[in-house]
Structure 1
Amino acid sequence: MISDKVRPHHLERKAILYVRQSSAHQVLHNRESSALQYAMRDRLTALGWSEIEVIDDDLGRSAAGGIQRAGFERMVAEICLGKVGVHISLMVSSDFARS
């Protein structure tokens, strides 16, 4: 199904799919999450994008502690330069309380 919100000027630019999990443990043990995130590429194709850049440089890198995330920085730069018609990512955050 193609959305009426997607216009030709959006499709003229590339789509970015940002794939990320915060820890190496998540990357190794939550494979379903990775599969779901990569599958969003199919949705972008269905919406009409032919140029899709997948940025997954930051897999296993937490945003805590000042760790640089080169993939995120590249994505933001591309958006700010007007090269991106859409970006898509799945945000999942979990906090584990210890008793």
Structure 2
Amino acid sequence: MRGQHEHRPVRRRTSGPLLLSTSTTDERRETLLRTAGLLDRLALAEPDDRALDVVAVRAGDELAAFDRLHGTGGGGGKELAGRAYTRRAHATWIVRPRGLPE
């Protein structure tokens, strides 16, 4: 029927790259870092949401893989993974002016 919309449940993305198409390595890393940081904060706010935790961990792992591939993100810590990597990388990023090497 015209004018009526079927309501469907929202499905969270639990796989695949979170990387958005941006122009430079720094911009791509910032996008990944901000996305992983946001997902980490959301997962902290909803500790019983296992799917959200999985997405946040994957975002952190994707950020870590990007940093290893491009030699970026020296503050993330090679021994860390997932959300711990995100937190360390974000803490390093917020104290350094944009464009300066880590």
> Normalising by structure 1, what TM-score?
0.36
Greater per-residue helix proportion: 2
The structure with the largest alpha-carbon Rg is 2
> Normalising by structure 2, what TM-score?
0.35
Greater per-residue strand proportion: 1
